[in-house]
A and B are shown apart, each in its own frame.
Chain A
Amino acid sequence: MTSPAEGFTARPIPARAGIGLRSEHYQDVVASRPAVGFFEIHSENYFGLGGAPHRYLETLRTDYPLSFHGVGMSLGSVDPLNEAHTQRLKQLVDYYQPDLVSEHLSWSSLNGQYFNDLLPLPYTREALNHIVDRVQQVQNTLKRQILVENVSSYLQYTHSTIPEWEFVAQVAEQSGCGILLDVNNIYVNAINHNFNPRTFLDGVSARLVKEIHLAGHTVNEFEDGTILIDTHDQLVCDEVWSLYRDAVRRFGPKPTLIEWDTNLPKLSVLLDEANTAQTIMETLHAQVA
C-alpha cells in the first residue's frame, strides 16, 4: 500500500443504508459514485498488499466511510488466534480507518486447518467465556471496538444451554464489543430452529446494536422438513423486511447493509434494495419524531 496519502482520517458511518463493495462493481461504483451511506468490504479481500483492489478502495475511501467485515478470523476456534491474520487486519484498519470493524460469532479452523465457513458454536457458558476472551484479544490488538455478527445455522447442538439472543447479547456485554445484527440470519434461524424471531430482537438492547445486515436466502423444502440457506444471492424477502421494520422500531435507525455475494446483479439492484431500507428508516423515524 504505497499510496499517496499516509492514511485516512476517521469518517463516521451515518445511520443510513449502505451496500457491499464487490469487485465486479468496481468500475461502475467509481464512475457513478452512488448516494449510499457507506460501503462495506470483506476484509480478507484486501489482505493482498497492492494492485487494483487497493487502488479502488483508496479512491472510494476519500468519498465514503467504510465498514470492514471479516470472514476468516475464526473467532470461536479453540486454536490460538491467528497472529498473522489479526496483524494484517490491524495494518488495514490503521491505514483505511474504517468506522466499523466486524467479525462473526462462529469458528472456522482447527489445528491450523481452515474450513473457510462460518461454523456454529454451542451456546454454553464455556463457549461464551471463550469467545468473550477472544473478542477482547482482538480489540486489544486492534486498539478499538469490534462488532460481532450472529450467523445463520443449519443445526443446533444438544448441549446448548443459552438461547442464541442471550448468547449474542452476553458476548457484547461482557467483552465491550458491539453487535452487528443480521436480521436475515435471525429469520433463517427462527425458521430452521423453530423460534419467534421477535423474541430474538427483544433479547438485545438497542445500545449494543451498531449495524444491521440484510440479505436474501434460499428456501429448500424436503419431505422431512424445510431448511433455509443463507445464500446472499437474491432480494431480501418480505418476511425479512417486516422483521427489519420491527428492528428499526426497536433499535432506531442504524447503519444497514445490503449483502449480496452470489449471482451478483447489476449495481442498480443493490442500490434499490438499499433505498428500500433507507425509506423504512426514514418513515419509521419520522413517525417516532
Chain B
Amino acid sequence: MSTAKITGIAALDGGQRLAVKYFAVAIVLFGAQILFGLLAGFQYLSPDFLYGVVDFSVNRMVHINAMIVWMLFGFIGSIYWLIEDESGTEVVGLWLGNLAFWLFTIAVVIVVVVYLVIQTGPGQIESIWFINEGREYIEAPRWADVGIVVCLLIFFYNVAATFMKGRWSGIAGVLVLDLVAVAGMYLTGMFYSPNLSMDQFWWWWVIHLWVEATWEVLVGCIMAWGLIKTLGARRQIVTTWLYIEVALMLGSGILGLGHHYFWIGTPEYWLTVGGFFSALEPVPLVAMVVHAVYDSGVHRFKSPNHPALAWLIAHAFGNFFGAGVWGFMHTLPQVNIYTHGTQWSASHGHFAFFGAYATMNIAVFYIAAQRWRGNVNFGGGLVDNGWKWKWALGLLNGGVVGMTMALLVSGYDQVFIERALEGATWSGFFKAQQNVWYLQGMWWRQIFGYMTLAGFFLLVWDLMTIGVRETRPAVFPTEVAEHAA
C-alpha cells in the first residue's frame, strides 16, 4: 500500500501516534530496569556500595517497578498501535488517551523521585498513601494506585468504545473482556490488612492473575493481530486459535494461582490444587510446538520484518523455557518447600518475565519502527546486514539466559547450605551467601547483567536507525489474505 515513502509521525494513524509515546517511555523504563538491577546486583558483591544512600531495597524496588510499568506501557502502546487498523475507525477519545498517557507518565516520575529521595516513611497509613506501599511489585503508593486504575479505565473506555463504533472482531472481544480483568484485578491489591496471610493471599491475585492470566491474554491478542498483519495468517484461523489459547491458558492458569498458596498460612488443599495445575500448565506450551511445526511446514511465510519475527521466535522459546521448564522445575510443593524464597525464584523470574513479555514488546517496537520509517523492507539484505539488531538480540537473550543460569547456581547453593544443612536459620542464610558457589553465581549474574545492558544500548541504537537508508518497500503478505477473507 506504500506508494510514496511517508515517514515519521505522518506515517501513523491517531492511535499509533499515541502508541509511540507509550513505546518511548517504555524503552526509557526498560533502561531504568536494567540500570537499577545492575546497582542492586552490584550491592550483592560489594555491600558497602551506596550503603545508607541508595540502599539495596531502593534499587531493587525501582528495578522491579520499572519492569512492571514498562511492560504495561508496552502493552497499552501495542493496543493503541493496532486498534484503528483492527476496528477500522479512529480512536474515540484520543485526547482522553493522551491525557491518561501524561497523567500516567508524570505519576511514574513522581513515584520514582519519591522512591529515590524520600525512600521510606514512619509506620503510618500516610506513608502507604504517599511514599510506598511496601508490597513487592506493587510498591507504588496508594495515590498512584488510584491513578493507575483511572488510567486503565480510560484505556478500557477507549478500546471498548472504539470497537463499538467501528468493526467488532474476535480479537476485539477477547481484548475488551480482558481489560475489565486487568483493571479489576488491580483493585484486589489496594487495601491494608494487619494479617500477613490475608495480605499475601490477595496480593497474589494481583501478581499471579495479572501476570499469568490477563497479561498472557493481552499478549495473545497482540500476537494474533501481529500474525494476521505481518505473516498474512487467515483471520478465522487466528481467532479460533486465540480462543483455544485462552481456554488452555486460563483453564490451567487461574487455579495455577494455587502454587503461590503453599506456605502463606493457607489451607493444605492448595498443595494439591497448586501441584495439579502446575503439573499441567506446561502441557499447552508443549502442545503449541505442534502448531508451530504445522504452520512452518504448511505455509511458506515470508516476513518483511526480520527483527520482529526473530523477537517473536525469542518469545516462543523464552516463554517455553522461562515459564515452562523453569516453572515446572520448582512448582511441585515437594520441591518448592526448599526453593521458595531463594535465588531460585529470581532465576525463574528473570527468564519468565523476559521470555514472555519483554520479547513481545520488543517485537512490537520493531513493527512500529518499520511503519515509522515508511514501511520499508526490514527483511533480508539490510544496508548494514542488520548487524545491530542481530547483536542486540543475541546480547539481550544471552544476557538474560546467562543471569538465569547464574542465579540458578546461587539458588541451588542456598537450598544446599541454607535450607538443607543449616536448618533455614539466619546464620544459615549468611553462610550460604558467603559460599564460593553462591558468590560465583552472583559475579556471573553481574557480568551477564552488563551484557544485557550492552544489548539494550544496541537495541535503542538500532530502533533509532534501522531502515533509515532503506528504500525498498516492504512487501506484506497481509493485504492479499485480509481482503480475500
A joins B in a complex: no
Chain A residues with a Cβ under 8 A of chain B:
none
Chain B residues with a Cβ under 8 A of chain A:
none
